[in-house]
Structure 1
Amino acid sequence: MREETPKIPQATSKRLPLYYRFLQNIANSGKKRVSSSELSEVMKIDAATIRRDFSHFGALGRKGYGYDVHYLVDFFRKTLDEDAETDVALIGVGSLGNAFLKYNFQKNHNTRIVVAFDPKASIDGTEMSGIPAFHPDTLQEKIKELKIEHVILTVPSRIAQDVTDQLVQAGVKGILNFAPVRLSVPETVRVHTIDLSVELQTLIYFIKNDVKQSHL
């Protein structure tokens, strides 16, 4: 009988890249082993949360010893599939999209923006920050041609759903959405929406709430 892979909570999954990044830094410092309390101190995440997150993947450490740093780095690299290169398309090269192009992700891991789409680009292609960019009229054709499955969406809200429909038809499996609108997609497509205004409001709320709590 086939053993089912345990379902990892979404909150834990979101923290995995953070664990990988901090553990890489710890490994680069020459440290051989680390405890959950030490990780908690540098990451500002409760030690109990770290131990609970790690427990979803089995016995990653030993009581009284802690965690082997190089083993964890290797484990999370494989878990996050960091050995495989992932090509990403950027849809919309406005202020935010242009910032993504200039940053690009390959500097930090194996995810890279390889193509962009924007109305300012030509049908035949225009170079933007060293990345080939094309007019949206070529969107589906190019996405299929390049076998792109992951995109970053930074378009105005009014056209976000129409663009998403085209991406779904082109075979895209994952969308990182920066348009402040809820997108409708099939169950086979995953959307992560980052609304910067909501994130800022949340930050302000927590800061004000922390101040109130400190005066109680």
Structure 2
Amino acid sequence: LPPPSRYGDHYEWNKAVTCVHNVLSPQRWLEHYGEVTIRNTKSDICTCKISFVKSRYWTSETSKNEVQGQVLNRAGEVVHRFGGLWHEGIFCDTLPNPQCIWKPNTQPDDHFQYYGFGRYARELNELTPELKKVLPPTDTRYRPDQRILEEGDVAGADRKKEEVEQKQRDRRKELAKKGEEHVPRFFRKEMDAAGNEIWLSNGTYWKIRERPGFANTENLDLWC
């Protein structure tokens, strides 16, 4: 099982808006903007508020991707301030010695040829021999249209995507005829402190993966 948090903390945050500009142009670029609040559900000792600043048409290239943030105590007083550019680095100027507190990993030399993906993004769909032994067949790394697209066959990926999604629609219709609904295997639906509907792990995935293993259980046939 994954190790518990070292301090027992549990953080929740909302997502900023992500926008891809010039999506049909070779000069496309990605922007995040909006307010993000990070809270520790186990303690109210501090809260972090981050503002991803939306760029303007007249904004220079050197000031895009600006981030400004504050750490507040439970009384709402600012105890730390930080800022910078999320594609370069974030700096905190209220520490005894102002310093860089975060910076992105260096992009691979050929990242422009791979949609700007870094190493982490490239490896999300990787299937190693070790993983194949333990993953359930429903894992999206087995999704065929995704794999075909990764191999560069766009037309083939589109055809396979339609097959996969039609199979999902057919399965939903069959359940509806029986008056049944699909029950997620590894997740449960709950409401968070703000009243938002969220999905949480039900704690079964890692237990089944360890014993008896997905190769020894009944699994849905999701992919064509």
TM over 0.5: no
Higher relative contact order (CA 8 A, sep 6+): 1
Higher helix share: 1
Structure number, greater radius of gyration: 2
TM range (shorter): under 0.3
